[in-house]
Amino acid sequence: MQRQWSLQAPGEPEAEPGGEELCEQEMERLCLSQQPVRVLPYAMVDKRFIRQLREPEGVKTSCWQQWRRRRQTVGRRLGEAARRLTRGCGLWEGALYEIGGLFGTGIQSYFTFLRFLLLLNLLILLLTSGFVLLPLVWLRPPDPGPALNFTLQCPGSGHLPQPGVSKFNNLLWNVFTGRAFNNTYLFYGAYRAGPESSSTYSIRLAYLLSPLACLLLCFCGILRRMVKGLPQKMFLGQDYRSPLSAKVFSSWDFCIRGQEAATIKRHEISNEFKMELEEGCHLLLLQQQTRAQRACHLLTYLRVNILIGLLVVGAISAIFWATKYSQDNKEESLFLLLQYLPPGVIALVNFLGPLLFVFLVQLENYPPNTEVNLTLIWCVVLKLASLGMFSFSLGQTVLCIGRNKTSCESYGYNACDYQCWENSVGEELYKLSIFNFLLTVAFAFLVSLPRRMLVERFSGRFWAWLDREEFLVPKNVLDIVEGQTVTWMGLFYCPLLPLLNSVFIFLTFYIKKYTLLRNSRASPRRFRASSSIFFFQLVLLLGLLLAAVPLGYVVSSIRSSWDCGLFANYLAPWQVVPELVALWLPPPSQRILYYLGSHAFSFPLLILLSLVLTVCISQSQASSRAIRRLRKQLVWQVQEKWHLVDDLSRLLPEPGSGDSLGPESPVSRGSRPRSFCPGFPCPGSPGPRPRGNPSASTLGAPDSPCPALKGLPAT
Amino acid sequence: MGGSGSRLSKELLAEYQVRETRSPGSLRAACARERMVPVPRPGGWARPLAPGGLLTLLSRFAFQDLTFLTKQEILLAHRRFCELLPQEHRSVEESLQARVSLEQILSLPELKANPFKERICKVFSTSPSRDSLSFEDFLDLLSVFSDTATPDIKSHYAFRIFDFDDDGTLNREDLSQLVNCLTGESEDTRLSASEMKQLIDNILEESDIDRDGTINLSEFQHVISRSPDFASSFKIVL
């Protein structure tokens, strides 16, 4: 704890009372502190000593202390067990360990994300089956009475009211399109329940609330993980980049084993540092531009973004037309192709889009970080916009959203073409989910694998240029988030879709692991684990919001099918809730509930939240002002201290032979450990400094590559 | 030039014994314990070893209380440690007393590819010449690098590992050695002198709060607290 030299330096005056007091204070503090011994940064022998000092053997510990210690151990064990549970009980630990050892934590974070999504899907499945399926199977509610008489003039003679009769009765094809499962619990249509009463379990309420509850839980879970991975930006007036020093100190992955992996990691780190330095220079140059140059620069930004925006608009309109065409021509002879046309177009768009974006962005010569971020943002926008457009165009054909068609007027949905529209929508999402998975498998085995084999077999400039596939983490993450968004969209129409998604994620893990270990090469651009956690969770959150909005709209405003499912006699699925509230709750509670849902409650709540937000913001501003003041004070105090030390050494007598207070003795610079920090005793103070200006060596030299670098101020 | 800031030196322990007899009131009142000061033994142990199986020994020495490792991890660590010992010294009692040389520890696959392996072993070694690790040192090492260790203790030891000259602060030479370790010595990854200078200038600009040209422990911990992936990268699992 205490510096060795203060006790061993020869010729020194007796250990000063100051030094002894320090040691004693430290020991007292350690004995009295409540921190567990394991947290102290000492060797085990010393920790044991401190432990003995706190609670010596032979001294009877009081009952309360024993109980407290037992409670701490139990708490610790419970915490460990809970942590293990949230990590999936050690699922795939060995594989993650191997991947982390070979490729570092950046790529390992993708596979950890897969595990997180698998657990999320299993949780959703558990909720759904626990609240909906099990009661349904157990209670066996009676079927509702016969449906209302249905008369509707449908345009187009010879138009079959039941488009479900297909010419192909191939079992495999029926499985792929979902027709085989039409009357199973996979889709909405098979769920039936009797009329509501005040004493039975309401399957309808459970079916309605479980997707909403699952989305809410997922939202909270994602938000929590996102906040944990939030890169700390300095909001104290410096530019909006994560600090370079933090990057440098945390750049090595200590879990890497294997010499080749270490070499690759060194290349990555070196590239990253060089890129950061380049970026810093670029930023400095930018800051020195005139206004006209800055305006020009902004225009070039605008140019490429507008171009890419136009491409995205074109892509999503292609998806719109594809979906409309596929829905309008369900009975064509080519409907094999048309069944999978929308997913096919989405996949094509999302394959070509990023390539085009990368090409266009590179034409502009941005700094590397900006290039990467811009491309990534546009890829995310394209992915989510294509899914959004797909669901909108489905809504247009099935529910006549945004256009007036006579077939929608009487029942609120296109009853001519769709007898059970929820099933149709569920089938579309089911097909999209399966298609995405098959595409993943196809790419892994029909593109990456032959590519690797060809590159290994042939040699030549073309093959050397082609090389193995790069394992790009963002692209893979976007694919898996798309699958998860589709699952969330389909929670209402296809309640067992999470089961399917879990199976797909499970298989995807092994396929991606195989691709990574055998058919890929590490990308030269480093992908940090921290920014990746934040990025993954952010994209997942956007997907969740994209899935929640249509669900909210459908649940609250759209008429359900008259003939199938649970909400056949309701104006909208949400109408079950007021009915049940009226049945189950006594009038006072009903009044309270209505008040909570009305405007009279939400306005005061909004005002209260704004007040709280204002207080938080002003607090944080005051804190940042205080931090700035304290920094200045610290710098000033250290400068003053060095001035005093210099004055003292000037005033001391000239060094003679054997005089212990010469410039080379460490005592001349003060025997107190200079860097004694609160909380932990520091490992010691710096050695003797060269006389003169302590920061002389840090002034900017004329040969630095960047002009006008800010050097350290001279004292 | 010690820098072994984590050891209570033998002189200190002896001083404690002396101080206890001289002025029993000062610390005793604060800590409220009997006159019980461990006698430092050559191996650093404070009580006699009891016979018995490994599990009873481990529970007796309360490794689980003194480290962040679970019981399975401690047993695994013991097994790996015994593999480094010669065959005849692999009994339980001997393994807890023995010391393993630095070369053998550096041959572990978890450390072999690490550019900081010598520094890690030096920092955790409690022998006077800092060239061998006992089982307890090995457990300390694994505890700090484990999953459940607090970020505070990780950053404390990271500071000591990066402090190549053991003087308690990170000055320019320490930082330059650190960057060279990270980027390697090969021609295409090594940073040029001007790049190195610019990088170190930037680091000091950002982290040296008191502007004295070096980074001390609290400044280092402040910087590390702003990097959320430090805790996940500063991990070694057997």
| Tens digits of residue pLDDT in A97-155 | 888 888 877 788 889 889 999 999 999 999 999 998 888 888 776 666 555 555 666 66
Count of A-B CB contacts under 8 Å: 329
- Distance of CA B199 to CAs A227, B162, B190, B195, B205, Å? 29, 16, 13, 6, 10
**What whole-number distance in Å separates Cα of residue A48 and Cα of residue A29?**
16
pLDDT at A694 over 50: no
Q: Domain range spanning residue A530?
A: 93-140+188-290+419-584
Q: Is residue A360 part of a domain?
A: no
So what's the pLDDT on residue A274? 84
pLDDT at A28 over 60: yes
If you search the block for the tokens 């973004």, which residue do you land on?
A: A305
Please identify, among A546, A566, A584, the residue that sits at the C-terminal boundary of a domain. Answer: A584
**What whole-number distance in Å separates Cα of residue A30 and Cα of residue B12?**
15
The better pLDDT of the pair A432, A5 is held by A432
Eight-state DSSP code of residue A155: S
CB atoms within 10 A of CB B9: 17
Q: Is residue A51 part of a domain?
A: no
pLDDT band at A73 (very low <50, low <70, confident <90, very high): confident
Please identify, among A556, A584, A612, the residue that sits at the C-terminal boundary of a domain. Answer: A584
So what's the pLDDT on residue A671? 36
CB B114 within 8 A of CB B120: yes
pLDDT at A68 over 50: yes
Q: Is residue A453 part of a domain?
A: yes
CB atoms within 10 A of CB A301: 14
Q: Which residues contact A309 (CB under 8 A, 6 or more apart)?
A: none
Contact at CB, B12 and A32, closer than 8 angstroms: no
Class of residue A298 by CB neighbours under 10 A (exposed 0-12, middle 13-18, buried 19+): exposed
The verdict on A97 and A210 lying in the same domain is yes
Q: Is residue A573 part of a domain?
A: yes
Of B168, B226, B235, the CB nearest to A255: B235
Min Cα separation A87/chain B (Å): 12
So what's the pLDDT on residue A668? 35
Q: Count of alpha carbons within 13 Å of A132, Cβ hemisphere only?
A: 30
Residues 3-22 in B contacting A (C-alpha not used; CB under 8 Å): 3-9, 11-13
CB atoms within 10 A of CB A80: 13
Q: Which residues contact B83 (CB under 8 A, 6 or more apart)?
A: none
Average pLDDT over residues A150-177: 59
- Of A269, A234, A233, A232, the C-alpha closest to A250 is A269
- Distance of CA A449 to CAs A457, A471, B127, B147, Å? 12, 13, 53, 36
Question: With an 8 Å Cβ cutoff, is B125 touching chain A?
Answer: no
The verdict on A565 and A626 lying in the same domain is no
Question: Where does A157-251 have alpha helices with state H?
Answer: 171-177, 203-228, 244-249
Please identify, among A540, A567, A584, the residue that sits at the C-terminal boundary of a domain. Answer: A584
Helix (H) or strand (E) run with residue B83 in it: helix B71-84
Q: Is residue A33 part of a domain?
A: no
Contact at CB, B182 and A248, closer than 8 angstroms: yes
So what's the pLDDT on residue A354? 86
Amino acid at A61: T
CB A389 within 8 A of CB A319: yes
**Phi/psi of residue A521, nearest 5 degrees:** -125, 155
Residues 181-200 in B contacting A (C-alpha not used; CB under 8 Å): 182-184, 186, 188-191, 194-195, 197-199
pLDDT in tens, A341-366: 888 888 888 888 888 888 888 887 77
Q: Which residues contact A406 (CB under 8 A, 6 or more apart)?
A: A155
Number of structural domains in chain A = 2
So what's the pLDDT on residue A620? 92
Q: Which residues of A touch B81 (CB under 8 A)?
A: none
Question: With an 8 Å Cβ cutoff, is B99 touching chain A?
Answer: no
How far, rounded to the nearest angstrom, does the alpha carbon of residue A102 sit from its chain's CA centroid? 23
The verdict on A249 and A107 lying in the same domain is yes
So what's the pLDDT on residue A313? 93
pLDDT band at A485 (very low <50, low <70, confident <90, very high): very high
* CA torsion through residues A486, A487, A492, A496, sign: positive
Min Cα separation B137/chain A (Å): 7
**Phi/psi of residue B18, nearest 5 degrees:** -65, -45
- Of A617, A410, A500, A638, the C-alpha closest to B211 is A638
**What whole-number distance in Å separates Cα of residue B208 and Cα of residue A241?**
18
Contact at CB, A56 and B1, closer than 8 angstroms: no
**What whole-number distance in Å separates Cα of residue A329 and Cα of residue A440?**
28
Residues 71-130 in A contacting B (C-alpha not used; CB under 8 Å): 80, 83, 97, 105
pLDDT in tens, B204-220: 988 888 888 899 998 89
Average pLDDT over residues A227-239: 55
The verdict on A635 and A496 lying in the same domain is no
Q: Is residue A246 part of a domain?
A: yes
pLDDT band at A336 (very low <50, low <70, confident <90, very high): low
β-pairing, A520-521 vs A469-470, is parallel
Min Cα separation A284/chain B (Å): 13
Eight-state DSSP code of residue B132: E
So what's the pLDDT on residue A16? 41
The verdict on A475 and A524 lying in the same domain is yes
The verdict on A472 and A492 lying in the same domain is yes
So what's the pLDDT on residue A333? 55
**What whole-number distance in Å separates Cα of residue A263 and Cα of residue A250?**
17
* CA torsion through residues B223, A222, A473, A323, sign: negative
CB atoms within 10 A of CB A483: 23
CB atoms within 10 A of CB B175: 23
Among A173-187, A520-534, A678-692, B91-105, the range with the most confident prediction by mean pLDDT is B91-105
The verdict on A500 and A635 lying in the same domain is no
**What whole-number distance in Å separates Cα of residue A388 and Cα of residue A210?**
23
- Of A568, A393, A488, A491, the C-alpha closest to A187 is A491
Q: Which residues contact A169 (CB under 8 A, 6 or more apart)?
A: none
The verdict on A579 and A590 lying in the same domain is no
CB A445 within 8 A of CB A593: no
Average pLDDT over residues A387-394: 88
The verdict on A626 and A538 lying in the same domain is no
Among A296-300, A504-508, A678-682, the range with the most confident prediction by mean pLDDT is A504-508
First to last CA, chain A: 31
Amino acid at A641: K
The verdict on A606 and A518 lying in the same domain is no
Q: Is residue A160 part of a domain?
A: no
pLDDT in tens, A577-602: 888 888 888 888 888 888 888 888 89
**What whole-number distance in Å separates Cα of residue A106 and Cα of residue A225?**
16
Which residue from B minimizes the CA distance to A628?
Answer: B209
**What whole-number distance in Å separates Cα of residue A430 and Cα of residue A422?**
12
CB atoms within 10 A of CB A11: 10
Q: Is residue A232 part of a domain?
A: yes
The better pLDDT of the pair A462, A19 is held by A462
Q: Which residues contact A246 (CB under 8 A, 6 or more apart)?
A: A232, B223, B224, B226, B227, B230
Among A455-469, A617-631, A666-680, B25-39, the range with the most confident prediction by mean pLDDT is A617-631
Min Cα separation A714/chain B (Å): 9
Contact at CB, A710 and B12, closer than 8 angstroms: no
**What whole-number distance in Å separates Cα of residue A381 and Cα of residue A375?**
10
pLDDT in tens, A195-213: 777 778 888 888 999 999 9
Q: Give every residue of chain B whose pLDDT is below 50, as ranges.
A: 1-6, 17-52
The verdict on A608 and A480 lying in the same domain is no
The verdict on A510 and A615 lying in the same domain is no
